[in-house]
Amino acid sequence: MSETKTSEKTLTPPPHTEPVVFTRDMLDWLPWLEPMAEADMTERHLTSLVDAARVKSPYFRLLARDPDVLEARTRTDKDIFYNPEAGLPRAERELAAAATSRLNGCIYCASVHARFAATYSKRVDDVQRLLDEGVGAKLDERWEAIVAASVALTTIPMTFGKEHVERLRKVGLDDAAIADLIGAASFFNWANRLMLSLGVPATQG
């Protein structure tokens, strides 16, 4: 490093309105660090996006600066949430993601996964109650058990214990479903930290 080198600067996002409540509305996300310019992206950067359309997303163009990690992250994410074979129903994987995001305070992540949870479960009121009231919201025993397990995996110290596994079994989750819940809640501890620390959510329009 030469002595004349000055450090890079963070970005100042354009004027925007930051959401101040948890919402199922579509949100934007504005980076605090410079994403890659599309023109500078090599074939490796582009394939790391996995979905070509993500080249329009500043979040993914920022993460593409380390393409191997981005691609591995994305393929992990997709299997945890989209693999339809056995395990936990999609709606409840999304519920675990939304509950984790609600607890950590990631308004952007919570908006995306609350929308998915509501779409796949059709339980719009319950999902909205989770957003409005937080992880202590009254849902039903099965959903409360899923939320409680997600919370126990997310807090530090982690408190996830045999009692959580037993409660999940009582409401009908088999071992594969419990493993999916662990995957979904754990993955959102990954995703929340990236979204929260590299930029800021903004309301649309």
Partner 1 sequence: MTDVIDTLVGIAPGSKLDAIRAQRSEARKHAQASYTSLFEPKDLGTVTADERHAIAAFVAGLHGEPKTSAFYAAKLPAGLGAAVAAEVAAAKSKGPYGHFPKGPLSAEDAPGPTWEVSDAGRKILGPRLTAAFEHTHMLVFHPRDAAAPSLQSLLDAGWSTTDIVTISQLVSFLSYQIRVVAGLSTLASTL
Smallest gap from residue 177 Cβ to partner 1 (A): 10
Choice between 33 and 91, CB closer to partner 1? 33
Choice between 155 and 204, CB closer to partner 1? 155
Choice between 124 and 200, CB closer to partner 1? 200
Measured CA distances, 159 to 120, 122, 148, 151, 162 (Å): 29, 30, 10, 8, 10
Smallest gap from residue 122 Cβ to partner 1 (A): 25
Give the pairing type, strands 199-203 and 27-31. antiparallel
Choice between 130 and 178, CB closer to partner 1? 178
Smallest gap from residue 181 Cβ to partner 1 (A): 8
Smallest gap from residue 141 Cβ to partner 1 (A): 19
The structure tokens listed for 131 are 């957003």
Which residues fall within 8 angstroms of residue 12, CB to CB, at 6 or more apart? none
Cα separation, 101 vs 105, in Å, equals 6
